[in-house]
Chains A and B, each alone.
Chain A
Amino acid sequence: MSAASGNATPTRYPRHPAPSLGQSVRLVATREIVARLRSKAFLISTGILLLVSIGSVVAGGIASQNQTLPKVAVVGSAAAQIVRQAGTLTAVEADDVAAAESLVRAGTVTAAIVPAESQAGYPLPVRVIALSGTPLEVVGVLSLRPEVTLLEPSKQGEGLVYLVAIGFGLVFFMSAITFGSTIAQSVVEEKQTRVVEILMTTIPVRALLAGKVVGNSVMAFGQIVAIGLLVSIGMAVTGQHVLLGDIGPALVWFAVFFAFGFVMLASLFAATASMVSRQEDVGSATSPVLVLVMIPYFLVILFNDNPTVLAIMSYIPFSAPVGMPMRIFLGTAAWWEPLLSLAILLASTALVILIGSRIYANSLLRMGARVTFREALQG
């Protein structure tokens, strides 16, 4: 019938041995990664994210180097001497009180320090003139300061804590959303284009799911590591060594927690996305997972100074990738706490993968209307 005819009976042993589960997973994961690397949208958004993180480090470095002391106008030698002794104010000489007042009105200086009109009731021979409110940074310098004993001294400055909280929260949030929706879209693409039926007859469904999760997790983790490296290098270059030493251990833990936390989220994204058949429905299907991602982001921004909330966050699997590194940074976590939290995270990741792959396998061939959770779980 054709030139291709050969032996008349087919060989009943496989001509090509079936690939192992690991090989299948690797093939699927590689395809996911290559598809992502070829997507312009992905390259552009990654570029922006990297630029923003390096930019914020550089901006922080510049700001810390050019910190300017508040300027005050001084009139008379007593005022000039006080300002010189304080060392945290920059003196601007003014000829008389009227000239000093006009400097204050013009906004050239924060306040003016002029000779007091009468000594009565005040220990200092000077008077402070300001525009509309008491200038605390100036008055603070002039005030008498009693000895202060801190019972629980904060390890990190408040502003820095806030910045680090936003940093962890934002990076986790952005990466989880970016790669979570990528994996969701990739699941629905296969379902919508029906290529999934060929894939299902070729490799086990769990290999397909695992390959997608692994591929996207590798990309997300790679992005996190790239950001971490850029930030570290940026800090070293801009001379913020002290900060790097403080934040280093927290960064490492963040990477570890993120790796496992993302696998869990990716499985959830894949499972929920598999329940719909069209790209238009991905958003509504995956919105419960998005909420799970957003909650830790808002919690860490609102409650980064609340030890109780942070402690709870650091043990809940969804918020642990943000909560635990935060506590490590603040120095409020005992050495065993990240390990315990990691164990909880690993156990929940395993559970989520089990349930997720069941939903995924049961939903893949159901086209059309959205699959309900009950159908997806029962099969």
Chain B
Amino acid sequence: MLSIEHVDKRFGTRQVLTDVSFDIADGRLTGFVGANGAGKTTAMRIILGVLSSDSGVVRLDGVPLTADDRRRFGYMPEERGLYPKMKIGEQLVYLARLHGLPPASARRNTAELLERLGLGERSGDLVESLSLGNQQRAQIAAALVHDPEFLVLDEPFSGLDPLAVEVVMGVLGSYAARGVPVLFSSHQLDIVERLCDDLVIIAGGEIRANGPRDELRERHSSPRFEIRTGDDVGWVRTVPGIDVLEVNGGFAVFEAQTDAASQHVLRLALERGPVSAFSQQRPSLATIFKEVVQ
């Protein structure tokens, strides 16, 4: 497990991170969400050791991270970049070797990754000759080519077409399945919602919410329910402890003051006839994000 503990960072007079703490658990995809300038990139750079924090520490299984640990990270910076005048295959082999891979493994990993990311044919092409989307795939390959044991990806999905998004989601998922802790940031909340196991929400350099995705949803759920039956459900208005927000034939939205009150509504409905749907409204990530950030 990777633990970020009480990290502070200021640039000149601007406080960029304030007491930032969160964990990235083994084998889990942790989504890192925040508005522009919230401090995501700075936090990631501090995890990678590109920037030093003013105070606080990043620990791996309780031990402060060393430069050698960081070499086993796969990192995709927000600022993309590869050597434009170098062949993509050679470039990946070079990066893998800088990470310490022997030449044969470096070549094997490069070939496998390019194949998997749909760039197998382009291995001998110069990076500058690739389309933007393919450059983006190459960038992801650069973060993965050395079999990283930790992944930190800053906006890995930006600039990808929907097909590539699916491919990359699959790749990240397979790393997590191997037990690799994965931290990724994204503006695309729908992707984060689908992909991540854990969620960290940052705003103004402070962590506003942090924990397993489903737990966060639970926590931010309103006591709001939907019910759909065959008959008119106007009778719900008369149930004690229930505030009806909307009734439309067999469909109603209501808020229950207690769990018992909502279950009472369900029982009454079943007595009257078949119930086709009964559910608590779950907030979307976008809703939680807005709520937490404000």
Query: Footprint of B on A, CB under 8 Å?
Result: 1-12, 14-19, 24, 27-28, 31, 35, 189-190, 193-204, 365, 367
Contact = CB atoms under 8 A, between A and B. Distances in A.
* Overall SS of chain B's interface: loop
A198 B179 contact: no
Contacts of A197: 45, 50, 75, 77, 79, 81
Interface residues of B, number: 49
Contacts of A194: 77, 79-81
A200 to B, nearest CB: 5
B209 to A, nearest CB: 26
B155 to A, nearest CB: 13
18 contacts: A1-B173, A1-B174, A8-B178, A9-B26, A15-B147, A15-B149, A16-B147, A17-B100, A35-B85, A35-B86, A193-B81, A194-B77, A194-B81, A197-B77, A201-B50, A201-B75, A202-B98, A365-B50
A199 B143 CA distance: 11
A362 to B, nearest CB: 11
A365 B100 CA distance: 24
B83 interface: yes
Given A2-B170, A201-B50, A10 B81 contact: no
B73 interface: yes
A185 to B, nearest CB: 11
Given A2-B173, A16-B146, A10 B99 contact: no
Contacts of B85: 35
Contact of B177 (A4, A27, A204, A367): A4
B165 to A, nearest CB: 16
B83 A195 contact: yes
Contacts of A5: 174, 177-178
A8 B27 contact: yes
Contacts of A27: 94, 97-98
Contacts of B67: 204
Given A14-B72, A199-B98, 13 more contacts: A2-B170, A4-B175, A4-B177, A8-B27, A14-B100, A16-B99, A16-B100, A16-B147, A19-B98, A193-B84, A197-B45, A198-B82, A201-B50
A193 to B, nearest CB: 4
Nearest to A189: B83
Contacts of A200: 50
* Overall SS of chain A's interface: loop
Interface of B: 26-27, 45, 48-51, 61, 67-68, 70-73, 75, 77, 79-86, 94-95, 97-102, 105, 142-143, 146-147, 149-150, 170, 173-181
Contacts of A8: 27, 178-179
Nearest to B180: A10
A16 B101 contact: yes
